[in-house]
Amino acid sequence: MLDEVLAALAPRDGGIYVDGTFGNGGYTNGILSSADTRVIGIDRDPTAIANAQDMAAAHQGRLTLVSGCFGDMAVLVPPVLGSMGVPAADGIALDLGVSSMQLDQAERGFSFRLDGPLDMRMDAGAGDTPSAADVVNTYEPKDLAQIFKVLGEERQARRVAQAIVRRREDEPFTRTADLADVVAQAIGGKPQRIHPATRVFQALRIYVNDELGELARGLMAAEKLLVEGGRLAVVSFHSLEDRVVKRFLAARSGAVANPSRHLPEAVAGPEPSFRLLSRKAQEPTDAEISRNPRARSAKLRAAERTSAPMHEVDMSEAGLAALGLPRMMAGLVAEGGAA
Ligand SMILES: C[S@@+](CC[C@H](N)C(=O)[O-])C[C@H]1O[C@@H](n2cnc3c(N)ncnc32)[C@H](O)[C@@H]1O
């Protein structure tokens, strides 16, 4: 959704933009080519940052690369802005999920089609967070089922969790193809349009990378980093992600209904810190979907920062605790997710 994201960001000469999900640099290239801008490109995958060194050199100081998570933008970005002599950013783009490059490399362990080590961490090796293998080999069946049900919308979540637990008693999982086979057998049934392990793999990936917690922290960081009039554009691919973005922007733009029309303004909440650019999420055009079928579930939400002070940082607003996911990552722990 590059064209739509660029239309939302409306890059201007002299502007400084944060691409929080640098990937292959497609969005960054678009921002750098549409005006005389500078970009701070962030990615948690060290390979994405390493691959971008030539691109940064070619742009001669207009592209600064940062290795890290966009959930930590509030800490990572101010020193870079400071070195550029500005206090705030003019735009922030987030294109959530994994890149085609990550999916297509068997050794990254994201794919059920290509056999590889069962890992799925975008920043494998950067910390001591559990890999997908750690999760499937050690979690309680009820926790596995909750992950598959909530993050994968897998209707047979319990049956899949039980099959995994039965199999791991004989031999722990180490490879993606092995897990994909066990999941496919547990689900059974007629051949489907998508691989039967798609939903379980998606759920594990979102879980091990704490993608929903990252998103909630990233949105709050964006509120802090944007200048008045600065734009935020978020592309999501999963209904839960879209719900987190929608809830955040609704709360921050004053679109959440006043609990009572009898309450005075002051009780209704703080002044809106964002103005929605459109009420509904934008979806990709048919032409884009036929060019890139992975874009079919994309949704773009965009908003403009107002002059109002940022609202209080409150992770519970994202509604993640209600998902009942097992505790693991900072975001879920901070919010007191189910133990
Ligand atoms: C869908 S791709 C982005 C593609 C990019 N817009 C492009 O045009 O090439 C998502 C990228 O964001 C990175 N990513 C995902 N979650 C992240 C996070 N929380 N912090 C930083 N990078 C993240 C992934 O490693 C991946 O490279």
Q: Read off the pLDDT of residues 75-123 as tens digits, 9 standing for 90 and up.
A: 999 999 999 999 999 999 999 999 988 988 898 889 888 999 999 999 9
CA distances from 112 to 78, 100, 319 (A): 39, 14, 30
Ligand 1 center to 44 CA (angstroms): 7
Tell me if 28 CB under 6 Å of ligand 1.
Answer: no
Q: Evaluate whether residue 58 is within a structural domain.
A: yes
Ligand 1 center from residue 131 Cα (angstroms) = 18
Closest to 183 in 3D by CA, of 196, 202, 168: 196
CATH code at position 27: 3.40.50.150
Contact 325, 150 (CB under 8 A): yes
Bind-site residues for S-adenosyl-L-methionine? 25-27, 43, 70, 95, 102
For ligand 1, atom 13, which residue shows the shortest CA distance?
21
19 lies in the same domain as 64: yes
Per DSSP bridges, beta strands 63-67 and 38-43 are parallel
- pLDDT at position 335 is 44
Question: Is the shortest distance between the CB of 122 and ligand 1 below 6 Å?
Answer: yes
Judged against a pLDDT cut of 80, whether residue 329 lies above it is answered with no
297 in Cβ contact with 237 (< 8 Å): yes
Of the three residues 208, 225, 243, the one that is the final residue of a domain is 208
Binding site membership of 27 for ligand 1 (Cβ less than 6 Å): yes
Span from the CA of 48 to the centroid of ligand 1 (angstroms): 9
The span from the CA of 104 to the CA of 75, in Å, is 31
Instruction: Give the range of the structural domain holding residue 317, as residue numbers without chain letter.
Output: 2-99+211-335
Nearest-angstrom CA–CA distance, 64 and 90: 15
Any domain includes 311:
yes
Question: Ligand 1: does its nearest atom lie under 6 Å from the Cβ of 44?
Answer: yes
Q: Is ligand 1 within 6 A of the CB of residue 97?
A: yes
Tally of domains within the chain: 2
Query: Does residue 332 have a pLDDT over 90?
Result: no
Mean predicted lDDT score pLDDT of the chain: 91
Q: Do 93 and 221 share a domain, yes or no?
A: yes
**Arithmetic mean of pLDDT, 291-297:** 87
Judged against a pLDDT cut of 90, whether residue 176 lies above it is answered with yes
Nearest of 194, 78, 88, 186 to residue 136 by alpha carbon: 186
Which amino acid is located at 134 in the chain? D
